[in-house]
A and B are shown apart, each in its own frame.
Chain A
Amino acid sequence: MAVAILAFLGVAACTPTKPPLDQLDAASRALGTARDAGAAELAGPTYRAAAQRFDAAQAAEGRGEYALAADLAAESQVSSELAAAQARLARLRGEVDRMRRENAATAGDLRQAPGMEFQQ
């Protein structure tokens, strides 16, 4: 019986007793950064997953389920970071494609110039 009580107390001690405000704040800021990076448009699914998890984290915190709230906040934060990275990737890809086309066109102009040398 003593062992059972100790086990029960051990599990109870692992349950957070304070709201995970720091985690929620970090998740909120990460979501804002992703939004500013254009993730809502350029990385829609990932950004929406981050926003849904943040809403769920707030709801869990409101119900006093602090461990669940902390997990959801961490998931929201990492999804926000991923959404921001995906948005940055999309922009970079567009810019690199544009510059490749522009450089190829300029190089073509130079090659076609009659009587002019083009240094490759």
Chain B
Amino acid sequence: MTGHTRFMAVLLFAFAFADGPAHARDDDYMRLSARLDLLAADPVLGTRAPAQMELARAALAALEESGRSQRTHWIYMAEQRIDLARAAAEIEVLERTHVDLQREHDRLQLELARRDAAAARAELERQRLQSQIRAEEAERLQAEAEAARSEGEQAASAARAEAEQAKRMAAAQARATALAKKEAELAAALGEGGAPAKAPARRSLVLADSTFAQNQSTLAPGASQQIQRAVALANQDPAAKVRISVATTDRAIAEQRAKVVREAMVAAGVDPARITTTATLAKSRRIEISLQD
């Protein structure tokens, strides 16, 4: 065997073993595989974020098939992908919880308004009864005054008290009216009929898919109603910043849509200095308007 031939043999040996697939199920693979299995078996998170779960499985499969030179890379990728799948699943769960809490918040506010309105009505009734008692007292005193003119001054005093009571009653009436109006607005906001009213603590809303035609960045016919919803939200708190977040499967379209919504809101009177936009890539399309403190 010549020196040259020996060199080539060594070279061949090196290539054959330097980057061969590490089929053995090593500790890292087993550890990461167990983590992913644990996530998949989780009763709450296991069925969430299926796309991210699939990417994590693919990274794990790549780790199993990777050669020695790629092993560190795929361990990192698999770890990050599994963490990302868990985070995405937790986000889904928390977003659902957030929606439920918002609904509960609206219901409680309605309950509170109803309670205040009922209390105001009870106060009004109490004032009315007191007024009636004083009126009867004044009438009695007046009768006595007429019978004995010397007691006239006492009757005048009762009359002044009656006038004072009438004033208090009017104030209670005004308060009851205002609370009844608030109750009606909250009931309308929760879909109990009546004209639409702004929810007292709403800080964000999602525009309907129909705002834009599919894969387009121009407003669809009838989108003005969606824009008006966004403007109404912005006007609800003129001091707050307005954030327009657009997510689509195409980043350029997302950016263009965010710009179009912004321009439409500015045209409707919203201060452009208040508005910020973000465009993100996502599998699900979404346009969210939110108020930022």
Contact = CB atoms under 8 A, between A and B. Distances in A.
B84 A82 contact: yes
B273 interface: no
B111 A110 contact: yes
A74 interface: yes
Given A7-B16, A116-B118, A74 B77 contact: yes
Interface string B62-91: 000000001001001100110110011011
B12 interface: yes
Contacts of A10: 15
A4 B98 contact: no
Nearest to B95: A92
B87 A86 contact: yes
Nearest to B55: A78
Judged by DSSP, the binding face of B is helix
Interface in B237-293: 251, 278, 280-281
Contacts, number: 87
B104 interface: yes
A7 B98 contact: no
A23 interface: no
B111 A118 contact: yes
A92 B94 CA distance: 7
A4 B76 CA distance: 33
A7 B104 contact: no
Contacts of B84: 78, 81-82, 85
Given A33-B280, A78-B84, A106 B109 contact: yes
B215 interface: no
Interface residues of B, number: 39
Contacts of B104: 103
A41 to B, nearest CB: 15
Contacts of A96: 94, 97-98, 101
Given A4-B9, A96-B97, A110 B112 contact: yes
A106 B15 contact: no
Contacts of B76: 75
Most interface-central of A4, A29, A100 (chain B CB within 10 A): A4
A107 interface: yes
Interface of A: 1, 3-5, 7-8, 10-11, 29, 33, 36, 71, 74-75, 78-79, 81-82, 85-86, 88-89, 92-93, 95-96, 99-100, 102-103, 106-107, 109-110, 113, 116, 118-119
Given A1-B8, A82-B87, A89-B94, 15 more contacts: A8-B15, A11-B15, A29-B251, A75-B77, A78-B80, A78-B84, A81-B84, A89-B90, A92-B94, A96-B97, A96-B98, A103-B105, A103-B108, A110-B115, A113-B115
Interface of B: 5, 8-9, 11-12, 15-16, 19, 70, 73, 76-77, 80-81, 83-84, 87-88, 90-91, 94-95, 97-98, 101-102, 104-105, 108-109, 111-112, 115, 118-119, 251, 278, 280-281
